[in-house]
Each structure stands twice: as C-alpha cells, then as structure tokens.
Structure 1
C-alpha cells in the first residue's frame, strides 16, 4: 500500500503570535494550511477529491507529552499539482493557548505523519483564508472560476460543509448574478450619495435635472392687415374686384383707388411653441468600461 507524504507545508496566520497576545477582542478566526501531497515515490497526489487528513495543534507538556489544543479531521481536495488548501478554525481560547505555548501542527493520515512542525511567530505572516475571506468578490478575466471561487452568475452551488460559510453569508446556495452590473458600496456617504442595501440591486436612474431653452416667439407682434378698394372710373361704382355682392358690368381694368380698409390691431402677443427634441442615445447611461467576470470566494 502506498504511503502519502507532505513534501511541503505552508502556514499563514490571521495575526502573528506576537499580535495575538495583545489582541483580546478576537472571538474566532482560523489558520490557512496549504501543502503538497506526494506519494512514496515523490510523485504529486493530483486531482484527489477526498484526501482524508487529521490536523492537530498541540504543545509539549512534562516529559514531552503532547497536550492537544485542537484536532480536526477533514477531507481535502488536491489540484493538478497535488496542492491542497484547508482553513482550520481556531476560537479565542485556543488562540490564547497557542500564543502562550510553543505550539506544533501535526498533519496525519492514519498512522502516517505527513508533517509535524513548530509554529513560528513571525510578524509578517498574516492569515487571510488563502488570500481573501469567504464572500470576497473580485473581477476575473476568465470564464472558469479558479479553485476556491465561484462565478457570480446566479448559479447554484453545492450545499456541503466546504460551502457552509458562503451559504451563511448569502442566505442560500445561489451566487449573486453580477453579469452586466457594476459594484457599489452599500449605505450612505457624507456627500449624500446612497448605495443599495447589502446584497440588493439598485435599478437604473437619472438625477432630476432641467434643460434650459427659450421656446417662445418674440412678443413684438402688433400689426394690422390692409384691404384695398377700387372703383370704375366711369360710374364710380364698385366692380367685382371690390368683393361686393353686386357686379358692375361696366367694370374695366382702369380703376381708381378710393382708400383702404384695415383690420383692428391685434396687439403684442406670443405664439407658444411646444414639442420635443429629436431622440438620441442608447438604452442606458454608463461610463466607459471593460468586461470581466466577477467571482466570489468560497
């Protein structure tokens, strides 16, 4: 039967041991463990879905006896290179023991000890769950989410222990659908800008505004309309060109202008003009942008 070994093991802390001593308000956090699983021929144990491991943190008591601070059994998954990642939950009381004792981390499978190393207090080793905490959202140039992440496309993810923390944050097993959306901070800012509620969608909108324009004609519109009357020079009677009902048969083209009629003055007035400008633009208001997929940390 093949035995499994850890070729290397990497630990990152949320706080260095020195910082943990001074940090009294921490209630719970964890330790991120990353390692490479190899077999007895030093070949990577790649693409294994259920690699059962036992993680134990302890300190040495009298006679070098192991005093266990915590122990956890978990199934981890290895990638193409045999690399696995796991977050070991640690509460406040366990942190206190780790910070005051020379603690060790032992990783085993059955009777096989993969690793048994002393935890080092280094101020630059900061743990953040393999880089970022569960529920973090970031842009990603790719169509397949990397290991430990899910696409924010409204898809449903498996309801299991590995996804329990994300399920608790989202309130379900569906990722937010951020396709075609921008991210905005929730709450109100000092400038009076109000973002959406947490995990809510804020619909399209335009701020109320005016477009100033003069749509009236000039009011200097006083005027009259003149009507000219003419007569036949022989009988001085109005001919048909005068607009009279009785036509003078002797009318000729030789007419004498007798005078003008005028309509009453209309006075200064306006002519209101109504209507709309020509429609232009697209289906939304947006800044220049670049397409990415959003992914969320498991």
Structure 2
C-alpha cells in the first residue's frame, strides 16, 4: 500500500484500522516535514494535513453554484436549512400558569394555512443533524 501504490500521494482514503500502513499518515491535522515528504507537500503546500477526524468529505463546488464561495481544503461548519411548518387549524388550551391558548392540543391539516410565527417544538434528538454513517480512519499516502 505504500510506495508503488496506484493511488497518488496526497489522496485521502478510508482505512478500517487505527494504525495506517507504512508510508501512510493519518489525516489528523498534523504538520509534516516537506523535506521528508516532498510529494505530499505538493498536495498540501501548508505542510499540514487536513483534520478529517469526525468529518465528512464534500466535493468541491468548482463553479457549479451548489456550495459557492468555498476554497479547496476549507472547513465548513454544520448547518440546518431554514424552513417553516404550518398549521391549518389549531386548538389551544389553558396552560399551568393560567394563560389561555398558549398550548397547542390539536391540529387539522385540511383547512387553509395559518402561520403563527415561531412555535418551539419538543422532540427527542441529539446535538447534531447527520446521516447514518460508519466510522473509518482517513489516511493519506505520504510516499
């Protein structure tokens, strides 16, 4: 898998082990020596590997207009697309503090749409939005 591999130096590859094979490095944000790895320095001129731990790789937009304004190897934070939910008809109930109509107890989706502004929902969930996935160690050919 090292020297003589069909993959070019610098290509990240998912690896099913914690330890990379000889001639490969983990994509963990570590700095590397351009003297020791001159071909790797051509792919990563900052002499620093990308930190792909816990990250997904996304194809570069390259002028397509789907994810414009990005540069190669740039990091992008998480985001949840803005959207709205509408109730066509709602029924309210008195809350425990005596205020009327503060709690939705039923909804009908057959009537005309009503936008009540922001309504906070309570649902089980985690601290992020993500697709199903399997964890691999990203490694990069260094020699």
SS in 1 for 2:37: helix
CA contact (8 A) 1:139 1:292 kept: yes
1:209 aligns with 2:116: no
| Alignment partner, residue 292 of structure 1 | 136
Rg comparison, structure with higher value: 1
Q: Among residues 134, 150, 153, which one is paired with 2:9 in the alignment?
A: 134
Higher strand share: 1
Q: Would you say 1:187 and 2:67 are equivalent positions?
A: no
Relative to structure 1, the CA distance from residue 289 to residue 275 in structure 2 (aligned partners, 3 Å threshold; closer, same or farther) is closer
TM-score, structure 1 normalization:
0.35
Equivalence for 2:101: none
Count of residues in correspondence between the two structures: 117
Counterpart check, 1:281 vs 2:128: no
Q: What is the alpha-carbon root mean square deviation over aligned residues?
A: 2.9
Residue in structure 1 matching 2:24, options 140, 149, 169: 149
Q: How does 1:90-105 map to 2 (within 5 A)?
A: none
TM-score by length of 2: 0.68
The alpha-carbon distance between structure 1 residues 280 and 169, as it changes in their structure 2 partners (threshold 3 A), is: same
SS at match of 1:157: coil
Which residues of structure 2 form unaligned runs of 5+? 93-115
Counterparts in 2 of 1:224-263, with a 5 A limit?
none
Partner of 1:99: none
Could you tell me how far apart the structure 1 residues matched to 2:138 and 2:122 are? 38
CA distance in 2, matches of 1:273, 1:205: 21
Partner of 2:108: none
1:243-296 superposed Cα distances (whole Å, 9 cap, x missing partner): xxxxxxxxxxxxxxxxxxxxxxxxxxxxx8985222431111111100100011
Could you tell me whether the CA contact under 8 Å between 1:215 and 1:274 is conserved in 2? no
Regions of 4+ moved over 3 Å: 214-218, 272-275
3-state SS, counterpart of residue 165 of structure 1 = helix
The superposition leaves residues 32-56 of structure 1 with CA deviations (integer Å, 9 ceiling, x where unpaired) of: xxxxxxxxxxxxxxxxxxxxxxxxx
> In the TM superposition, what is the alpha-carbon distance from 1:175 to its structure 2 partner?
1.3
What is aligned with 2:48?
A: 174
Task: Name which structure has the greater RCO, CA cutoff 8 Å, separation 6+.
Answer: 2
Using the TM superposition, give the Cα deviation of residue 164 of structure 1 relative to its aligned residue in structure 2, in angstroms.
1.2
Give the C-alpha shift of residue 208 in structure 1.
Answer: 1.9
Q: Is the 8 A contact 2:34 2:40 kept in 1?
A: no
